[in-house]
């Protein structure tokens, strides 16, 4: 029996916002996740206007920044994976 409940990965994004150092995501189950912008170099370099130009994709399973050509998976965020880690592995 697994001690990790797969239901934690079923939540979807409902809102996105930023501060100077982090990307924040509100999930449908009420969790708020904050991850370092260091994980996403394109977002770290983006202007506030570019960061604000996002949309949910796949019913909230991901976030898309069209002008930045950046897609983020909510499951990847929950699992602690950022663009930096994807490019290394």
Averaged over 54-79, what is the pLDDT?
95
9 versus 3: which is more confidently predicted? 9
Is residue 65 situated within a structural domain? Answer: yes
Total number of domains constituting the chain = 1
Q: Are 65 and 46 in contact (CB under 8 A)?
A: yes
Residues spanned by the domain of 52: 12-88
Averaged over 13-31, what is the pLDDT?
96
Confidence class for position 9, pLDDT limits 50, 70, 90:
low
At 8 the pLDDT is: 58
Examine the pLDDT at 89 and tell me if it is beyond 70.
Answer: no
At 3 the pLDDT is: 47
Q: What is the pTM of this model?
A: 0.82
Is residue 2 situated within a structural domain? Answer: no
Considering only CA atoms, which of 9, 12, 11, 10 is closest in space to residue 57? 12
């Amino acid at each position: 029996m697994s001690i990790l409940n797969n239901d934690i990965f079923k939540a979807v994004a409902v809102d996105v916002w930023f501060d100077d150092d982090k990307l924040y995501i509100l999930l449908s189950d009420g969790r708020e996740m904050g991850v370092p912008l260091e994980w996403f170099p394109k977002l770290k370099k983006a202007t506030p206007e570019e960061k604000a130009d996002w949309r949910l994709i796949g019913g909230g399973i991901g976030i898309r920044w069209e002008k930045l050509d950046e897609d983020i998976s909510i499951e990847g965020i929950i699992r602690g994976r950022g663009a930096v880690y994807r490019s290394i592995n």
